[in-house]
């Protein structure tokens, strides 16, 4: 049973990435795989956008650079989901209370719903999709899977990114540090006990891989 | 809950920033966490968002020659909490920074933004044309007021939401404000205003001025400080009650004291009577009890927030007792 679910999960993941690809092409976004992002020349950021005007923005997401047009009021979450088809980050509260939209920006967990797309230019953005290692789950994803750290799963991508960000700064957190470190993410199903176990296991997994 | 349209500008210099701000109906974007929430919820509207995030000179934490510190307004709350010299010299400030909001918001929110944030009163944040929005009524007076102020309210009964501000006040910090006309320094007490001074704004900043830095005076010998925040959850919540203490001791006696409350009033609330009671004394249970009672002597609770009075007395008592 467990193996079947894992297999299904693998297929789901592939499904999302196909959908993401189609949306990406459909939206007319240009993605370039960059061998070494840090060596590529920086693109000059938009310094002004009139009300309602579409201006170019260049975002580095999961190691790829994407260039497309945005309105000044669009958030990073809007463009990740609607322009890039990355549906891992979720819209929950839209006001920085629930954490469903958590992504890493320059390695730090932040709320994509409270970040303007234009403000994210020039920064490295990592979503839950970027934690995959080829077709394998990354260590934090695997720990959430192994510990059944979700029920409905809506908050999970945000929880995983919050855990990933915390473990990068604090690789051996105590239970109390985990609780505080994960406090910016709500789970309405109440899976907290499993989430904390998952983060404990993720800390160990990250050190072995 | 859609984001309204606005013109967006990201200047590279302060000079350019002032030009855009002086054109009127503009809002400053630093971390953006409070700004975007307010715009989305319709707490206020703006024509123009002026982002100061490209202005690198606002991002530095510097130790000045006289031993004081200058904290650039764009320093994030996380940077402040982790700064080794701040942790060593101003422990209450690092402590308070760690108590702010959630990890995500600390990574994004800035020191300047924390001091200029809008209050969290649910009537102000909701669809109520309250006195702070220029309306005729404060809905908290007859409404749900369990989180509202017990001191300093008049026409509006918000509490100041910042955890940094009470600590900065206890440390005697100043605020650097820069405008087209130049730079000025004011004590933080003069930055934050009571409803009776200006009911529709929280700070003394003019629309075309920018809070550019926080200035911390050098710590004197024998100084000790702390911040404690009491809230309904263990984290990611605003203070029900909080107390910042900055005390100096010489031979076991308090030689100077600052006691500042959060969650009590529309601004961080100094307790001068309590400070007087403990100054010149060795801290003992009787002195501490008198100081705690004095802090709440002028308190005027509303229907649902009377619990705060005992909460503050207990909190002040416990915190002062830790210095015995």
pLDDT recorded at residue A125: 98
Q: Which residues, listed in sequence order, are joined to residue B69 by a DSSP beta bridge?
A: B63, B216
Q: Which of A48, A51, A184 sits opposite B102 (nearest CB)?
A: A184
Q: Output the average pLDDT for chain A.
A: 85
pLDDT at B265: 98
pLDDT above 70 (res A40): no
Strands B241-250 and A124-126: unpaired
Q: How many CB pairs under 8 A join A and B?
A: 103
Task: Report, as an integer, the average pLDDT of A159-176.
Answer: 98
Tell me whether B51 touches chain A (CB under 8 Å): yes
**CB nearest B7 (choices: A49, A162, A184):** A49
Note the pLDDT of residue A34. Answer: 43
Which fold does the domain B1-53 belong to in CATH? 3.30.43
> In the predicted model, what is the mean pLDDT of residues A17-28?
43
pLDDT at A6: 41
Predicted confidence (pLDDT) at residue A2 exceeds the cutoff of 60 = no
For residue A75, list chain B residues with Cβ-Cβ distance below 8 A: 3, 36
Strands of the sheet with A54-61, listed across from one edge: A30-33, A64-71, A54-61, A124-126, A102-105, A108-111
Band the pLDDT of A45: cuts 50, 70, 90.
Answer: low
Between CA A48 and CA B296 the distance in angstroms is 50
The answer to whether residue B108 neighbours chain A at the CB level (below 8 Å) is: yes
Give dist(CA A33, CA A184) in Å, integer: 32
Question: Distance (Å, rounded) from C-alpha B13 to C-alpha B15?
Answer: 5
The CATH homologous superfamily of the domain defined by B224-321: CO dehydrogenase flavoprotein, C-terminal domain (3.30.390.50)
Mean pLDDT computed over A32-60 = 69
Q: Which of A50, A95, A99 sits opposite B37 (nearest CB)?
A: A95
pLDDT of residue A161: 98
The 10 Å Cβ neighbour count of residue B133 is 14
| Complex ipTM | 0.95
The average pLDDT across A46-72 equals 94
Cα separation of B41 and B56, whole Å? 30
Rounded to the nearest angstrom, the minimum Cα separation between A70 and chain B is 12
Whether residue A183 and residue B236 make contact (CB cut-off 8 A), yes or no, is yes
Q: Which residues contact B161 (CB under 8 A, 6 or more apart)?
A: B117, B118, B119, B120, B238
> From CA B117, how far away is CA B120, in angstroms rounded?
9
A96 neighbors A113 (Cβ within 8 angstroms)? yes
pLDDT at residue A4 is higher than 60: no
Give the pLDDT of residue A27: 43
Full pLDDT tens readout for chain B, 324 residues: 589 999 999 999 999 999 999 988 999 999 999 999 999 999 999 999 999 999 999 999 999 999 999 999 999 999 999 999 999 999 999 999 999 999 999 999 999 999 999 999 999 999 999 999 999 999 999 999 999 999 999 999 999 999 999 999 999 999 999 999 999 999 999 999 999 999 999 999 999 999 999 999 999 999 999 999 999 988 889 999 999 999 999 999 999 999 999 999 999 999 999 999 999 999 999 999 999 999 999 999 999 999 999 999 999 999 999 999
DSSP state of B235: S
Query: What is the Rg, in whole angstroms, of the alpha carbon atoms belonging to chain B?
Result: 20
- Give me the half-sphere count of Cα atoms (radius 13 Å) on the Cβ side of residue B4: 15
Per domain, the residue ranges of chain B are 1-53, 224-321
Q: Over 70: is that where the pLDDT of A11 sits?
A: no
Domains and CATH numbers, chain A: 2-33+47-131 (3.10.20.30), 139-208 (1.10.150.120)
């Amino acid at each position: 049973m467990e193996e079947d679910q894992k297999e299904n999960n693998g297929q789901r993941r592939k499904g999302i990435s196909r959908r993401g690809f189609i949306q990406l092409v459909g939206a007319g976004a240009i993605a370039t795989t960059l061998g070494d992002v840090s060596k590529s020349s920086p693109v000059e950021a938009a310094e002004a956008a009139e009300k309602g005007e579409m201006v170019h923005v260049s975002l580095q997401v999961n190691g790829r650079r994407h260039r497309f047009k945005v309105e000044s009021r669009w958030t990073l979450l809007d463009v990740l989901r609607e322009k890039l088809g990355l549906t891992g980050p979720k819209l929950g509260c839209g006001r920085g209370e629930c954490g469903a939209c958590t992504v890493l920006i320059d390695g730090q967990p932040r709320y994509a719903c409270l970040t303007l797309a234009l403000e994210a230019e020039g920064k490295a953005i990592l979503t839950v999709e970027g934690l995959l290692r080829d077709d394998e789950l990354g260590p934090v994803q695997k720990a959430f899977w192994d510990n059944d750290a979700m029920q409905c799963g809506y908050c999970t991508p945000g929880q995983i990114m919050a855990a990933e960000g915390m473990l990068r700064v604090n690789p051996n957190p105590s239970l109390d540090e985990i609780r505080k470190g994960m406090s910016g993410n709500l789970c309405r199903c109440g899976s907290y006990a499993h989430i904390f176990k998952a983060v404990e296991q993720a800390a160990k997994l990250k050190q072995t891989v | 809950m859609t984001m309204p349209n606005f013109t967006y500008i990201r200047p590279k210099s302060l000079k350019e920033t002032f030009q855009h701000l002086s054109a009127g109906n503009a809002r400053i974007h630093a971390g953006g966490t409070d700004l975007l929430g307010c715009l989305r919820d319709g707490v206020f509207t703006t024509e123009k968002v002026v982002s100061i995030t490209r202005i690198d000179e606002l991002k530095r934490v510097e130790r000045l020659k006289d031993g004081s510190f200058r904290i650039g307004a764009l320093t994030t709350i996380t940077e402040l909490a982790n700064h080794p010299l701040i942790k060593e010299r101003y422990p209450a400030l690092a402590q308070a920074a760690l108590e702010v909001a959630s990890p995500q918001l600390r990574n994004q929110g800035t020191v300047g933004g924390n001091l200029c944030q809008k209050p969290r009163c649910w009537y102000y944040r909701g669809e109520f044309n309250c006195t702070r929005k220029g309306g005729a009524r404060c809905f908290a007076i007859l409404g749900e007021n369990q989180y509202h102020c017990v001191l300093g309210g008049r026409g509006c009964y918000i509490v100041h939401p910042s955890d940094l501000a009470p600590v900065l006040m206890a440390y005697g910090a100043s605020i650097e404000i820069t405008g087209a006309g130049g730079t000025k320094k004011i004590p933080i007490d003069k930055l934050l205003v009571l409803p009776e001074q200006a009911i529709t704004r929280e700070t003394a900043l003019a629309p075309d001025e920018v809070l550019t830095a926080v200035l911390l005076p050098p710590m004197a010998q024998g100084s000790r400080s702390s911040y404690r925040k009491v809230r309904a959850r263990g984290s990611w919540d605003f203070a029900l009650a909080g107390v910042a203490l900055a005390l100096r001791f010489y031979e076991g006696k308090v030689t100077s004291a600052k006691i500042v409350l959060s969650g009590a009033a529309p601004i961080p609330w100094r307790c001068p009577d309590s400070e007087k009671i403990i100054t010149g004394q060795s801290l003992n249970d009787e002195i501490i009890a008198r100081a705690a009672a004095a802090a709440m002597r002028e308190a005027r609770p509303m229907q649902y927030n009377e619990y705060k009075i005992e909460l503050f007395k207990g909190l002040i008592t416990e915190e002062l007792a830790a210095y015995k």
